[in-house]
Amino acid sequence: MSISHLLLIAIVALVLFGPNKLPELGRALGKTMREFKKTANDLMGDLQETDSQPQPSRKDVTPSSSSTGSTAPASSSSDAPAAAAQQEKPAASDTRRLPD
């Protein structure tokens, strides 16, 4: 938009609303825009906070390479009890199912 377009819009607004009402409309428009921007920023901040929360660790369900189950896949210390319980169970015939 050029300056001539903005000047034309300002003149039309002045004629329609008058010189006394125009500042009130400007203040109301400014408050509305400020509130909209604040709400949009709050919403975007909430979305970013939920994205930044760490996801819960996932359990490794990959079947081991040996059929006896004597070797366990490498796991972190928090998965050690689960790995020990998996070693104690006999090998199931259907390896596609997740362990209980």
Return the domain boundaries, the chain. 21-48
Sign (positive or negative) of CA dihedral 84, 87, 88, 92: positive
Q: List pLDDT tens digits, range 28-51.
A: 999 999 999 999 999 888 777 766
Q: List pLDDT tens digits, range 46-100.
A: 777 766 666 677 788 888 775 554 444 454 455 555 555 555 555 556 567 777 6
**Is the separation of the CB atoms in 99 and 89 below 8 Å?**
yes
- Residue 13 corresponds to which amino acid? A
Q: Which two tokens stand for residue 53?
A: 């929360």
Using CA atoms, how far apart are residues 93 and 70, in angstroms rounded to an integer?
Answer: 16
Using CA atoms, how far apart are residues 3 and 11, in angstroms rounded to an integer?
Answer: 12
Residue 62 confidence (pLDDT):
83
